[in-house]
A and B are shown apart, each in its own frame.
Chain A
Amino acid sequence: MAEVFVAKFAEFPDGERKIVQHGAHDIGVFHWEGQFYAYANVCLHQGGPACEGLIMHQVEDVIGPDKTLVGQKFSDTQVNFVCPWHGYEYDMKTGECVPDRRLRLKKYNVVRRGDDVFVSI
């Protein structure tokens, strides 16, 4: 298991992402709400750069107590990163493909050593 340098912690603010390429590895590393997440940057659909698109909160239906649709909102808790090629959405915290959670991106461990952030491959 090797560790690949991602960025200085100070240069990787919350809400940002870095793309790390090392040999055959193409990895997207996200810093989101105090946590780091890293996934293979290859979409399970057609191989697009899954980690390089928008970061969007999950869209949710708001259903009233009488089962009527009240409207839609963005989730307060679930955020997804979106493959920019075709819009496949992945759960930031798990790498699962949101429309079919049986599918998930390969996950990598991220470690912080002092001022540096590394990803384990």
Chain B
Amino acid sequence: MDLPLSSDRTWRVDEFDSGKALAHAAKQAKQRNYDQFPIIDVDSHHYELESFNEILEYMPDPVLKQLAKMANSGNSKGVGVMPGGVGYQDMGGRAIRYPLRRIEKTEPGVHRDVSLTRRWMDVMGIDIAVLFPSPMLQLGLHPQVEAEVSLATAYNRWLSERVLAEESRIRSMIYLPFNDPDASYRMVKEFAGKKGVCGFMITSVRFRPVHHNSYMKVYSAIEETGLPLAFHAGYNWGEQSMGMMNKFIAVHALGFVWYNMVHMTNWVLNAMPERFPKLKVIWIESGLAWLPFMIQRLDNEYMMRSSECPGLKKLPGEYITDMFYTSQPMEIPRDMSLLESTFKCIKAESQLLYSSDYPHWDFDLPSTIYDLPFLKEKAKRDILGGNAVKLFNLDIGAGKRTKVA
């Protein structure tokens, strides 16, 4: 294919192999002996629209299904069905795997998502990856609640049957159609205990308060499963405040934190950790720098306005440091003492979970954790895998490279 470049030039590329493109990652894995300990990637992605025709076959509503299949029958995958829109994740093709993904060949007889996921996991040294969708991270913006429910149902069933059932190294946290609390509850009941299901996930880009009474039965149901609840961040250039920004870097930098800040504030100040003390909560893909801000800000105001939050039995920040966080996109400051302080502030050695976010543009390799100068070997290994093994209760065998059966 011909990639359009600056000054009307083009670059002809005839083949692409993501494994070869990650050859330097394979070197890092060998140099750092990743085969000696488990590495669990708690946030990675696939592009579900590549399998959209398969997914739509699982839609339970026949009318919505026909609408979606027709809308997806032309060249415009998902247009007219999926919300979302402007965003330049590929950086004008600078993250070259975006445009070239469409010409990457996979092994015959294996689902494309399984084949591609195994490929990057193997070269990076990842033992188990928790896989999430990509465009569907904005499905919470769908104006039709019933469409979110139907598409989420289809995606979850497809993922369970076509991907998770085929490869034990791939896990997922099930998409909850959160605009419909009853449907979210049913989703927990349907998928808890199914192969590869390691939790439940709320896409953060939406406008529903997480403390609303209608969700209590959902959280109770998840708490009963013993599996974690995750909030996966995202961006929404269509929101009015984001609409003031003219660059994707701004929308991404703020958007991926903003929605999780709102949900976390509501979650903590409404004492959800007290109401669901056994429910483990993970905040995904907001990086780490927001957390010292949240802890300081909420603690300071709580000391003056605790009467507004009578359900709390300790400082907001103490609830925040009891929760779990995925590492990517981990901000690397010029002054590394800031990052070291952040790690200390959030109790990273027990609460932080490595995540790559691969193949997205700002992915982090395991070396982003392993090479941190202020961590000891045990802390590196716990963040890269040990903490996730405990959180998800993973059976990983005797500590060498683990291929979970």
**Chain A residues with a Cβ under 8 A of chain B:** 15, 42, 46-49, 52-57, 74, 79, 82, 84-87, 89
Contacts and interface: CB of A to CB of B under 8 A. Distances in A.
B6 A56 contact: yes
Contacts of B25: 47
Nearest to B24: A47
A49 B21 CA distance: 8
Given A84-B94, A87-B94, A87-B95, A56 B5 contact: yes
A85 B22 CA distance: 8
19 contacts: A46-B368, A47-B367, A48-B24, A49-B21, A49-B23, A49-B24, A54-B3, A54-B96, A56-B5, A56-B6, A57-B6, A57-B7, A74-B6, A79-B6, A82-B94, A84-B94, A87-B91, A87-B94, A87-B361
Given A54-B3, A56-B5, A84-B21, A46 B367 contact: yes
B94 A53 contact: yes
Contacts of A89: 94
> Chain A binding site: helix, strand, loop or mixed by DSSP?
loop
A84 B5 contact: no
Interface string B89-133: 001111111000000000000000000000000000000000000
Nearest 9 interchain pairs by C-beta: A57-B6, A87-B94, A84-B96, A74-B6, A87-B91, A82-B94, A56-B6, A47-B24, A46-B365
Contacts of B91: 87
Given A47-B24, A47-B28, A84-B97, 11 more contacts: A49-B23, A49-B24, A54-B3, A74-B6, A79-B6, A84-B94, A85-B95, A86-B95, A86-B362, A87-B91, A87-B361
Nearest to A100: B334
A83 to B, nearest CB: 8
A79 B96 CA distance: 17
Contacts of B7: 57, 74
A56 B24 contact: no
B364 interface: yes
A89 B93 CA distance: 13
Contacts of A52: 21
Interface in B348-363: 361-363
B363 A54 contact: no
A117 B193 CA distance: 62
B250 to A, nearest CB: 15
Given A74-B7, A86-B363, A53 B28 contact: no
A39 to B, nearest CB: 15
B94 A54 contact: yes
Most buried by A among B6, B91, B93: B6
Interface string B359-378: 00111110110000000000
Given A54-B3, A86-B361, A42 B94 contact: no
Nearest to A84: B96
A56 B367 contact: no
Contacts of A55: 5, 11
A4 B369 CA distance: 35
Interface string B1-33: 001011101010000000001011101100000
A113 B366 CA distance: 43
Contacts of A15: 9
